[in-house]
Every structure is written in structure tokens, then in C-alpha cells.
Amino acid sequence: MFDQDLRTALPATPGVGYKPQHFNDILKTPEPVGWLEIHAENYMGDGGRPLAQLRHLSERFPISVHGVGLSIGGEGPLDPTHLARLKHLCHWLNPASFSEHLAWSSHENAFLNDLLPLPYTTQSLTRVCDHIDQLQTTLGRQMLLENPSSYLAFAESTYDEPDFLREIARRTGCGLLLDVNNVFVSATNLDFSPKGYIDAFPLAQVGEIHLGGHDEDEDDHGKPLLIDSHGREVVDPVWALLDHTLAQSGPRPILIEWDTDVPDWPILCAEATRAAHALERVPA
């Protein structure tokens, strides 16, 4: 177990998810972006232009590595090959932060291109903590664990999500990544208060905040169903929820996620500028 003092080398400024088509724009007009995030699985190869560009960017910007495929919530063991590749990447890059998801995406030899939910039970808690202990020991660093977007709840759950994450952080010493859009999506889909969720969240353990866009749909009963898509601007209610969060947490690194229908660089910068203004409103 790592000690519970939260450690992150990311600045409390806006960051964006790095996309190769923005490489030249980032170097020419970086403001107001203060740091970049990459998905670990896109950089687990050896050599080539993507890694060369990433190395160049890492000399100018703090880099956050965000994993999407470790299946920390899965029933089986962590994949040793995936873990070894991740260790190699983090040793080579020495990122300012590493994070993963409270979800599962593999079972035995089947790998799924999605982040799937798990029940919040004592058994799940023990398994997730064991996986995080193994991961942090392997990497030799503290990780951040992200709250998921939810579309269903499990009847067998004995913890609510904030308490489940709080206990994981207490047992393992990991930090937390608070995805504010995920909170809004889950609150709409499962009919709970997003502000109440934030009020119950262990904000002292939050080392990074994510914002992203979502799509709107309806379920079979005609009720609103939000899908965490990362394919459009952050909506006004999520910005308002960010303000509610920052008023309690204080300034934190804020990432703008945009992974599908990726826009031109100025549009991403406009979202980052709005995040910068939110940070400016936080009392010193």
C-alpha cells in the first residue's frame, strides 16, 4: 500500500487529450493548455513516429498517462504482458500522472472494447484493491482511479459509489480521478443528485478532474439516457457541476476529453479556456 498523501506533478491548469493531428498546432499555439493526456494503449509499441512525437512533447509539457485496458475490476488476474508494457512505457516516459478506470474489460481470453461495470460489494472491493496494489507496486508510483459512467445499478451492491472509491483509496493509498461528466451522466441515468454525489465524494483524494461531452438518447420507457461519448462540447450543466466541485475541492488539473469526431485545435482550446475561467473563479 502506498501512503495516502496525494502526489501529482500535474499543474492545476487545463489539459487536453493529445491527438497526433494536433501535434503542430500544439507546438505553435499551446495556450491555454498546460499539460497533455495520452491513452497508454496507443503507445505500447517500440519506436516509430508516434513515440518520437510524444518524446518531443514530453520535453515541453507534463504528460498524464491514462490506461483503458487493464481491467482493474475484472474477476481474473491482471494481464502480465499488458502490465509489463505499461511498466516499460511509464519508465521510458516518466509521466506526471498515471490513471485507470474502475471497470472491467476482459474475462479469461476475451477482450472487450468497452469499460463495463461491477457490483460494489466486499468481494469486488477486495479484488480491485488487490489489483491496484499489484499495479502500484509494479509501476513504483501512485495511480489515480476514475469513477465510471453508469447505465445500470446492481441490486447486490452494498456500497454507494463514493464510499466504494473512498475505501479503495484508504486501503491502497491510490488517488482518485473525478470525471464530472461521468457523474452527470450516471446521475441522469440512475436518477440521483449529481451535487449530492459530489458532496459525498472524497475530494481530498482527487488528483485530476475530467470533463467531456455526452450524447443524449432515450431508454425503452422514454426516459433520458445519456451516453459518455467524448464527441462534443461539455454541456452547461456539467460546467455548473464543475463549479460546485471546485468550490469544495479547490483548484485541480482539469482535462478536456474529446476522443470521437475530434475537432480542430481552436475548438479544443476554447473548451480549455472555459476550464481556465472556472479555475480563476475558485477562491485562493
pTM for this one? 0.95
| Helices 49-58 and 80-93, axial angle in degrees (round to 10) | 50
Q: What is the CATH number of the domain that holds 224?
A: 3.20.20.150
3-state secondary structure 142-159: CCEEECCCCCCCCCCCCC
| 8 assigned to some structural domain | no
| 5 assigned to some structural domain | no
Q: What is the pLDDT of residues 130-168, one digit of tens each?
A: 999 999 999 999 999 999 999 889 999 999 999 999 999
Q: Which residue has the cell 479503495?
A: 168
pLDDT at site 3:
60
Q: Are 166 and 102 in contact (CB under 8 A)?
A: no
| 154 assigned to some structural domain | yes
- Please name the residues in contact with 61: beta carbons below 8 A apart, sequence gap of 6 or more: 26, 30, 33, 34, 35, 36
Kindly report the number of other CB atoms within 10 A of residue 245's CB atom. 26
Residues facing residue 255 across a β-bridge: 15, 210
pLDDT at site 2:
59
pLDDT at site 117:
87
Cell numbers at residue 265, please? Answer: 485545435
pLDDT at site 108:
64
Residue range(s) defining the domain that contains residue 217: 14-281
pLDDT at site 105:
72
Distance CA 16, CA 255 (A): 5
pLDDT at site 1:
62
| 136 assigned to some structural domain | yes
| 30 assigned to some structural domain | yes
Distance CA 191, CA 42 (A): 35
| 206 assigned to some structural domain | yes
Residues of the chain above pLDDT 70, percent = 94
pLDDT along the chain (284 residues), means of 10: 67 98 96 97 93 97 96 92 97 98 76 79 98 98 96 94 98 98 96 98 98 88 86 96 98 97 97 98 86
| 232 assigned to some structural domain | yes
| 226 assigned to some structural domain | yes
pLDDT at site 110:
65
Tally of domains within the chain: 1
